[in-house]
Structure 1
Amino acid sequence: MKITDLLPTQNIRQGILCSSKKRVLEVIANIAAEHQNLEPHLCFEQLCAREKLGCTSLGGGVALPHAKLAGGEKPVAVFLQLDTAIDFSAADRRDVDLFFALLIPEHYCDAFKIHLARLAECLTDKSLCKQLRNAQSAEEIWEIFEHIEI
């Protein structure tokens, strides 16, 4: 599966400003809900509930927030490249500026676990992260992801 199968261009934001973990999760929830016929507040609640179980930071300034949804037809991804990194309670204490978020319908969760693990491995690649940080548009970010299989 290609990352771009999950991540439409309209779900990518480049160079945005967010001042807190809560605000990042709100932005992710709103973007995911916008085009996928989901309720933003439910997406936000599920993302927050998952973060309470443990921080989804992967280290190196990257986080992989994810959550199960009761509804939805297929997994939905959102990618944010922040203008300025924020405190995300990462184990390595590094602020986070790259967020790849996934909202996964419950009926997909078991089958999707292997993809989630591969995605986490992919997002810890320093070369990929450098490219994503240097990207100047959503289209450029999408093109970087277009060549990656998980």
Structure 2
Amino acid sequence: MAKLTELLIPDNIRQGLVCSSKKRVFEIIGKIVASQFNDENNQENEHTCFECLYEREKLGNSSLGNGVAFPKGRLPDGDKPIAVFLQLKTGIDYNALDHRDIDLIFALLIPTNICSQYSEDLAKITTLLTDKSICKQLRAAQNKEEIWQIFENIDSQQEILSNNQENIEELN
């Protein structure tokens, strides 16, 4: 599995964000992602990122339950996925299946040409994001450094589990 800290960078974390709607969340994510492109088309890039998320959301709600959403989108260009994590100060109506407001959002935008490389990772990330212990830690984090540390710890634990699994397989 790709490490969360390989998909996400500290600059793409927002803590205690005040937001009014799902649309506004997608606009903020678009702005964060667009700032990482090295060209002059920042407004166009923001719109493209927003549309990627918005169009995918039309296919099905990205809420995972327990106040967590995992919106995804396909970027037309690029060579690596870009993740954004938002911890909202108060939850927003997201039309979640469990009717719970969303306050934790992990967005992932993947260039179309490499989407197939990440299909297994999406399921694993979903599992991590629905872990109640992880959600509790992310909600309690007081700044983006604490959130980053949580993601680093998750990656370390996943690496240990993976190494243990490899060792077990070698013994068999």
| TM-score range normalised by the length of the shorter chain | over 0.9
Partner of 1:28: 29
Q: What is the correspondence of 1:1-150 to structure 2 with a 5 Å cutoff?
A: 1-37=2-38, 39-149=45-155
What value does the CA root-mean-square deviation take over the aligned residues?
1.1
Shift of 1:111: 1.2
Q: Within 2, Cα distance between the matches of 1:2 and 1:106?
A: 20
Q: Within 2, Cα distance between the matches of 1:130 and 1:62?
A: 11
Higher RCO (CA-CA < 8 Å; seq separation 6+)? 1
Could you tell me which runs of 5 or more consecutive residues in structure 1 were left unpaired when the two chains were aligned. none
Structure 1, residues 92-129: CA drift from partner, whole Å, max 9, x if none? 01000000000000111111010011000100000000
Q: State the SS of the aligned residue for 1:29.
A: helix
Q: State the SS of the aligned residue for 2:109.
A: strand
Asked if the contact 1:2–1:147 (Cα under 8 Å) also holds between the matched residues in 2, the reply is no
Shift of 1:148: 2.0
Asked if the contact 2:79–2:114 (Cα under 8 Å) also holds between the matched residues in 1, the reply is no
Query: Which one is further off, 36-45 or 4-13?
Result: 36-45
Q: Which has the larger radius of gyration?
A: 2
- Whose helix fraction is larger, Structure 1's or Structure 2's? 2
Identity %: 57
Q: Within 2, Cα distance between the matches of 1:84 and 1:148?
A: 24
Deviant stretches of 4+, over 3 Å? none
Shift of 1:147: 2.1
Could you tell me which runs of 5 or more consecutive residues in structure 2 were left unpaired when the two chains were aligned. 159-172
Q: State the SS of the aligned residue for 1:148.
A: helix
- TM (normalized to structure 2)? 0.84
Q: State the SS of the aligned residue for 2:83.
A: strand
Which residue identity does 1:45 align to in structure 2?
A: E
